[in-house]
Amino acid sequence: MTFALVTGATAGIGLEFARQLAARGHGLVLVARNEARLEAVADDLRAAHGVEVEVLVADLVDPAQCATVEARLADRSRPIDLLVNNAGFGLKQRFLDNTVEQEAGMLDVLVTSVLRLSHAALGPMAERGRGGIINVSSVAAFLPRGTYSAAKAWVNSFSEWAHHEYKPQGVSVMALCPGFTKTEFHERMEVKRGDNFMWLDVEFLVRTALADFDKGRAFSIPGAQYKTVVALTRAVPSRVLQRFQSMGRK
């Protein structure tokens, strides 16, 4: 049985990755902060798909707890075949309305943990000559939207580089760039969730991402509307795009 490790696995995109990967027959290592929710998800997946599910309680803001996940990824005796770096962190307010601690915490989750977990996973994968990483980024990476966009732009750049660097060694790396998606993410930020054509269904999002990963793509941008948005960002000046940075914050 192959194993996938998914961070932020108890809700939203991470939970859907866990469900679809279990349906494919992957064993799972689920990572999140809430032990009760982790155990409930694990029980559901074992019952529904008959796969082995391990839970790992960790808050990736905490370096010591992040290190426990790194150690699991680096364990050659229990190899991880796919890492899904999905743990999310969002701040509703603009930069100066947040504390520097809040901003640093977001970078710890969105950038530092992605770097550290990818580093831990890539070594064993490259040695075995197989494996993969899906880094959940955002369409915001292509837009000037403060530190969240800057963090996701790093994820895109890192993932694209790693895709080309480790492909010859049998390791696939892909950045998944969702647009607005119907999950708990916006509710946790106390931001109103929409329901128009710009809001993606999470099942469609993950199904598309896994199909793109299977094809060996460096990027997955689910939804024709968001492919169009990304194409426009290459033609529209940054100063114009910045006028729309408040979208999704209300």
For range 6-10, the mean pLDDT? 97
**Confidence band for 186, pLDDT divided at 50, 70 and 90:** very low
Look up residue 119 and give its two tokens.
Answer: 């580093």
**pLDDT of 203-217, one tens digit each?**
999 999 999 999 999
Q: Residue 190 has what pLDDT?
A: 47
Give tens-digit pLDDT for 130-172: 999 999 999 999 987 789 999 999 999 999 999 999 999 999 9
Residue 59 neighbours by CB under 8 Å, 6+ apart: 33, 65
Per-residue pLDDT, averaged over 34-52, amounts to 97
Q: How high is the mean pLDDT of the chain?
A: 90
Q: Give me the pLDDT at residue 248, please.
A: 47
The active-site residue out of 3, 17, 148, 180 is: 148
pLDDT digits 0-9 by tens, 17-32: 999 999 999 999 999 9
- The percentage of residues in the chain with a pLDDT greater than 70, rounded to a whole number, is 88
Give 31-98 as a DSSP string.
Answer: EES-HHHHHHHHHHHHHHH---EEEEE--TTSHHHHHHHHHHHH-TTS--SEEEE------SS-GGGS
| 3-244 topology per CATH | Rossmann fold (3.40.50)
Domain ranges of the chain: 3-244
Does the annotation count 166 as an active-site position?
no
**pLDDT confidence tier of residue 93, bands split at 50, 70 and 90:** confident
Is the pLDDT score of 194 beyond 60? no
pLDDT 10s digits, 167-181: 999 999 999 999 998
